[in-house]
Amino acid sequence: MDFEVVVIQGLGFLAVFLLVVGIRAALAGRMAEDEALAAKPLLFRMFVHETAAMGKWVGPAVNPLFEAQTRQLRLDLVAAALPLDVDEVRGMQALAASALGLAAGLGTFIISLNGRYALAAAFLCALLAWMYPVIYVAGAAQRRKEVMARSMSFAIDLITVAMQAGQDFGAAVRHLVNEGVRGPLGQEFGIMLKQNELGKSRVEALQAMSERIQIEEFKSLVTAVTQSAEMGSSISATLKVQAEDIRRARFHTAERKAARAPSLMLIPMALFILPAVFIVIFTPVVLRVKDSGMSGYFGQ
């Protein structure tokens, strides 16, 4: 009877929890009219007030304990262009860890009626939920940087061709933003162009863009353009050389990834292919030994 009561209570809790999540999702769809809110990831939109409230007291307590992670998280948020701050991510970590840990512990206790198993499941799921927001932000930043790196050489080639045709640097970048590269790199060049129009110098706008996108090839490009502007040499020639360097660096990166492929293939082979091969080879041998009556010798 006690077990049935626990099951009913657990199912009731899950029903209420799913109802709340559904209501929050519906409200988040309406609140998505706000552009800044719509740009946030789904879970942050669903629990925007909860993450903000929990981040106010979790962030100041956790950030000093993980200073290196906090600095990297701040850089990843800028590189991923996510409209979030570190405290919001900390609030989502605390919210996800508490909710998933509670759900996992309760579900495990309902199934096993063992408190130790329930605590172990709650701790493990809470730990995974605590780590996931940071991993998500780092993955989003890495994917965005890879997209920008793939189109970097093409964008610089377009700027170079436009400048060789007689346009200045600002007009070439404006042509790139309006008619050239689409995606994150075009957006970043658009921000750089707006900063330049609002009073920042060309070098300052490029340096600010370099700090946002955090791509090493672009940092070397900004350094070369800065030196070229200081020395009075041709910027288009500098851009052409830097585009070739970026293309060559990407080619070497592809070569390194291709060289690592055979070693990475050993893991799935050892886990999935080789056991199946052994089963196919040795199963007939074992069956023949068993049918021949010699299996008794191996049991002695």
Instruction: Give the end of a domain, one of 251, 276, 294.
Output: 251
Judge whether 94 and 54 are in contact, CB under 8 Å: yes
Whether 286 is covered by a domain: the verdict is no
Judge whether 189 and 209 are in contact, CB under 8 Å: yes
Rounded to whole angstroms, how far apart are CA atoms 85 and 72? Answer: 12
Do 152 and 137 share a structural domain? no
pLDDT at 12: 65
Rounded to whole angstroms, how far apart are CA atoms 73 and 57? Answer: 18
Instruction: Give the end of a domain, one of 251, 268, 290.
Output: 251
Do 140 and 167 share a structural domain? no
Residues (pLDDT < 50) of the chain are 1, 30-33
Q: What is the DSSP secondary structure assignment for residue 252, as one 8-state letter? A: H
Whether 126 is covered by a domain: the verdict is yes
pLDDT at 1: 46
Q: Could you tell me the pTM of the whole model?
A: 0.73
Do 221 and 88 share a structural domain? no
Do 65 and 124 share a structural domain? yes
Residue tagged 């730990």 (tokens):
127
Which parts of 198-234 fold into alpha helices (H)?
Answer: 202-213, 216-231
pLDDT at 242: 80
Domain hosting residue 110, numbered range: 2-144
pLDDT at 166: 81
Whether 80 is covered by a domain: the verdict is yes
Do 202 and 72 share a structural domain? no
Instruction: Give the end of a domain, one of 251, 266, 282.
Output: 251
Whether 54 is covered by a domain: the verdict is yes
Judge whether 59 and 34 are in contact, CB under 8 Å: no
212: left (phi over 0), alpha (psi -120 to 50) or beta: alpha
